[in-house]
Structure 1
Amino acid sequence: MATSKISHRPLGKVCVMNRALRRQQIQAAYLFMLPGLIFFLTFQIYPLIKAFQISLYRWEIMPGRASQFLGLANYLRAFQDPIFWLAMRNTALYTLVTVPGQMVLAMVVALALNRLVWGRVLFRTVYYLPVITSWVVVSLLFKFLFNSQAGLINFVLKDLLHLTSNYIPWLQNPGTALIAIMTLGIWKGIGWSMVIFLAALQGIPVELHEAAAIDGASRWQRFWHVTLPLMRPTLVFVLVMLTIGGFNVFIPVYLITGGEPMHRTETILTYMYNEAFNFLDFGYGAALSYLLAAIIFVLSFLQIRFLRRPVEF
C-alpha cells in the first residue's frame, strides 16, 4: 500500500526540532530587543544610578578636585531646609488645585462631546490642541497675558471692563502668580483627560443607561450610579498620571516666575534645578530628585491601592 511507504519521524526527533526552533525564535527576539535595551540601560538606568551616587557626595565638577562623601547628609539637609518645605507646599498646592480642576472640566467636556451627533472630531481636536502645544510657548504666552503693565488680562479688567482701578501685579505677588501658573496647568491638561474620559464613556454599554432610565433613574442618577462606577479604572489611571505630572511641574514656573519673589512660587523641580545648575550643588539637587521620586511613588501606590476596584457589569 502507498501509505506504508510514508516515513514517520520519531516523536523525540520532532520535539528536539521544536525546541531548536523555539530557541531560535527566542534568540531572534532578544536580538531585536538588544538595541532598545542598550538605549534604556545607557540613558535611563545608568543616569539613575549615577544620580543616586552623586546624592551621597558633595559633588565636585572641577577636574582634579575630589568629591567628599557625605552619606545621607544631603537628604537630612532637605528636611531642615525651609525653602524645601516651601517648594513642597507649592508643589502640593499646585497638584491639589490642577488635578481636580482638570478632571472635573475634562469630564464635563467629555460628557458634552459624547452627546454630540456631528462635530465630535472637530471639537475633540480643538480641545486637544493645547496638549500638543509646547510648554515653552504657552508659558511665555501666559507670562504676557498676566503681565502687570502690558498684559491682556489687566487690559480687559481695567481698560475695557473697568473692574479694577489699577493694574494687578499678577506675577509679582506670590498668590496671584500661582493662580496664573495653575490656570495654565488646568487649561493645558483638559484635552488629555477629555480624550481618555471620552473613550471610556463610549465603552459603556448603552443598554445599562437604558435599563436605568426605564427604572426611573434621572440623568444625574445614571451618571452617579452607572457611569462613574464603570469609569473607576479610568478615573484612577487619570488621577495617578495627573498627580505625577503635577508634582513634576517645572517649565511654567521656571519661565513665568523663576520661583520668585523670594522663592515664594518655588516648586520642587525648580528648586532642584537652581541648586544643581545655578549654585552647582549637584549632590543636594540629586538628593531632592530622589526625595521627589519617593513621594510620587508613595502617592501613586496609595492611590492605586485604595481607589482601584474591579468593575462589575
Structure 2
Amino acid sequence: MDKKKTPHLQGYIGFKKAIAFNTIKKLIGERCHIENAKGNDQQNKEYCEKDGDVLCEFGKPQKQHDMTKQIKDAVKRKHEGASPSEMLEEFGGTCIRYKKHIDEQSVEINQHEIKLEMERKMEAATLRYWQQRLVLELPQHTERSVWWYWEEVGNVGKTWMSKWLVVMKNAMRFENGKSADIKHGYNGQDPVVFDLTRSAQDHINYEVIESVKNGIMYSTKYESKMKCYSPPKVIVFANAEPDKSKMSFDRWVVTKIDPIEPDWWSTLDNATMDQMFAVHHEETGEELPEIDMLNPNGYIRIKVNM
C-alpha cells in the first residue's frame, strides 16, 4: 500500500447474475469504488493475491468451462437416480442454483431413451390390417380432410396405433381437452392424432380439431398469439361415429375399424409382393410400383416396401 495514497482494500465479487452498482454499494458500503471486472474468477483471485496479503475469501473461484462441466455431471447423476442429499453433497450450490435446468435436462434425456426403446419395439411389431391400411392412406390426406377411425367395442389397437404414429411418424398426440391447452401445445407437428377416450364421447371438442386441421389458430394461454402452419394430417380414434354436423360434410373421411383381418393379410409378405410384381412385369413389361387389393372395407393400396 502506498503511504501517500488513501488506505484501501482491493477485492473482487462474483455474482450469480448481473447486479446494479448502487445495489452493491448498499451491500458493502457507499464509499467503495466499483468497476466491471475483466477475466474470470480465477484470474481476478490471482490479481487480488498478488501482494500476498489476503484478508478473507468466501467460496471458490469458478471458471466458465468448469461450471458447464459441473452442470453436465449433475445432469448425469440426476439421470442415474442420485438422491437430493447426494446431489447436494456432490455438487453443492450448483444443484440449487441450476436445479430447474438440471431437472429439465434429466427428464429430456429420460424421455429420449424411452422413445428409442419404444422405437425398437415398434419396428419389430407387426401392424394389424387396419393399421397398415391407415399408414398407406396417409398420402391421400388433403388440406381439408379429417380421417376418423372408430369402433364401439374396444381393444382393437387404437391407442397403440396412436403411440406408433408418435414414435415412427413423429406425430403429435392429443386427447380430448380444452381449446386453449391444445392450441398452446400444438406447434406445427404433422400428423396430429386425437385419441379420444370412451368417457369423452359425449363432449368432444370438434372446434379444436378443426382449428388444428386448418393450421391457423389464436392461442390465448400465457402469451397470446396467432399460430400459423401448413394444414397437418389429422387422425381421430374414437368409440363412435362423429357428429358430422360439427364440420362441413366434405371434411369427413370415416372408417369403421373391422378387427377381422382378411385371410390373405396374415400370409402377405414382401417376398410375395416381389413375386407378384415380377410376374406382372414379365407378362406386361410394365413397372408397377403399387397394387390395389379389395377387401370388405374397400380398396387398399399396398406398396412393395411396406
* TM-score of the superposed pair, with normalisation by structure 2: 0.29
More strand by share: 2
More helix by share: 1
Q: Which has the higher contact order (CA 8 A, sep 6+)?
A: 1
Structure with larger Rg: 2
* TM-score of the superposed pair, with normalisation by structure 1: 0.29
